[in-house]
């Protein structure tokens, strides 16, 4: 199966390059070109096989949601000249990610199940079950790690370590709650529940901007609204659209990113299953049919789209 695993361009006037877990970023002074590859990561480890169309799904969902939330706060988006490419403003990123949760799922549930009742400085009530709705959405920030694992951190620790100023952090909180509220509305319009998500912010000319992706399957978790209450009452697993099923497949195959663990073999059928789930999420979240890009000459197409956009 064809997929875009990495790019190694060298552009005229390029000032820097950074390859992340999923994205290849090319810098051009105060602008940047972000290429969403088909790489996939879980437990902060890049998995060996790329997932066809995953980059296109992430890039196009992120672009739609950046446009749908630009009235809430400024964001970095300038244009999307290719299914896998976003051109945007370079911002100085804050060293924390703003994770917000409306339900007890994923990492938060695993922490709760282990006995913890304080998550990033937020006290959680007793007696909650997996995937229960929380009394109110809570922000559980993490540090941003270029390598290795992101770590949970509280607001108090962020301020005491001077990672973010009090004034800036309060605005990040405000934006995070408002963006989550908008994301929740957009999801409900499509019959989905936005369970949790993360937002990244940066500063440019003294102004805070929303950066990176927003409300994608890599940064967010969705449940199907229909049948949620019934499944919860019966103690059944929720029907969800997110990357959690990839994490669960890895857990079932004895891998959680810990030292000494071996990544299980990703067969062609597993890769196709993951790809199909990403396409399903795209169509459910956007309400639009997914148009598969052509992988023939994809690197030539991407390179030309970036050059033409910056000229």
Chain segment 37-47, per-residue pLDDT in tens: 999 998 889 99
- pLDDT bracket for residue 281 (50, 70, 90): confident
Q: Spell out the residues 6+ positions from residue 248 whose beta carbon is closer than 8 angstroms to its own.
A: none
The pair of structure tokens assigned to 101 is 């949760």
Chain segment 143-162, per-residue pLDDT in tens: 986 555 679 999 999 999 99
**CB 256 within 8 Å of CB 263:** no
What pLDDT, on the 0 to 100 scale, is given for residue 240? 84
Report percent pLDDT > 70 for the chain: 98
In the chain, which residue ranges form alpha helices assigned H by DSSP?
54-68, 106-113, 155-160, 166-189, 228-234, 244-252, 268-286, 298-310
All domains of the chain, ordered by start, with CATH? 93-242 (3.30.470.20)
- pLDDT bracket for residue 70 (50, 70, 90): very high
For residue 309, pLDDT over 90 is answered with: yes
* Cα–Cα distances in angstroms (integers) from residue 240 to residues 49, 192, 229, in the given order: 23, 9, 13
Chain segment 81-121, per-residue pLDDT in tens: 999 999 999 999 999 999 999 999 989 999 999 999 999 99
Chain segment 179-235, per-residue pLDDT in tens: 999 999 999 999 999 999 999 999 999 999 999 999 998 899 999 999 999 999 999
Please report the DSSP string for 30-59 in residue order.
Answer: TEEEEEE-S--EETTEE-SS--TTHHHHHH
What pLDDT, on the 0 to 100 scale, is given for residue 146? 57
What pLDDT, on the 0 to 100 scale, is given for residue 152? 94
What pLDDT, on the 0 to 100 scale, is given for residue 148? 54
* This prediction's pTM: 0.90
The pair of structure tokens assigned to 249 is 């497949």
């Amino acid at each position: 199966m064809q997929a875009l695993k990495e790019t190694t361009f060298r552009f005229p006037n390029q000032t820097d390059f950074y390859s992340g877990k999923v994205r290849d970023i090319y810098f051009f002074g105060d602008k940047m070109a972000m290429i969403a590859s088909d790489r996939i990561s879980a437990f902060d480890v890049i998995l060996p096989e790329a997932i066809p169309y995953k980059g296109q799904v992430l890039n196009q969902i992120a672009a739609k949601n950046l446009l749908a939330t630009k009235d809430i706060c400024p964001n970095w988006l300038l244009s999307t000249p290719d299914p896998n490419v976003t051109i945007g403003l370079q911002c100085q990123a804050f060293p924390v990610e703003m994770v917000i949760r409306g339900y007890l799922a994923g990492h938060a549930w695993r922490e709760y199940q282990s006995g913890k009742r304080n998550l990033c400085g937020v006290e959680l009530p007793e007696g909650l079950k997996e995937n229960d709705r929380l009394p109110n959405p809570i922000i559980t920030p993490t540090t941003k790690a270029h390598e290795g694992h992101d770590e949970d951190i509280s607001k108090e620790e962020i301020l005491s370590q001077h990672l973010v100023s009090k004034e800036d952090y309060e605005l990040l909180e405000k934006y995070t709650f408002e963006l989550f509220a908008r994301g929740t509305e957009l999801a409900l319009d499509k019959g989905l529940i936005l369970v949790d998500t993360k937002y990244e912010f940066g500063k440019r000319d003294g102004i805070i901007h929303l950066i990176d992706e927003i409300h994608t399957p890599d940064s967010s978790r969705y449940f199907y609204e229909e049948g949620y209450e019934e499944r919860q009452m019966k103690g059944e697993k929720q029907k969800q659209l997110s990357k959690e099923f990839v994490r669960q497949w890895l857990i079932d195959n004895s891998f959680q990113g810990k030292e000494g663990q071996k990544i299980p073999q990703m067969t062609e059928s597993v890769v196709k299953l993951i790809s199909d789930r990403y396409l399903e999420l795209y169509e459910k979240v956007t309400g639009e049919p997914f148009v598969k890009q052509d992988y023939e000459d994809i690197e030539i197409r991407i390179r030309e789209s970036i050059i033409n956009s910056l000229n």
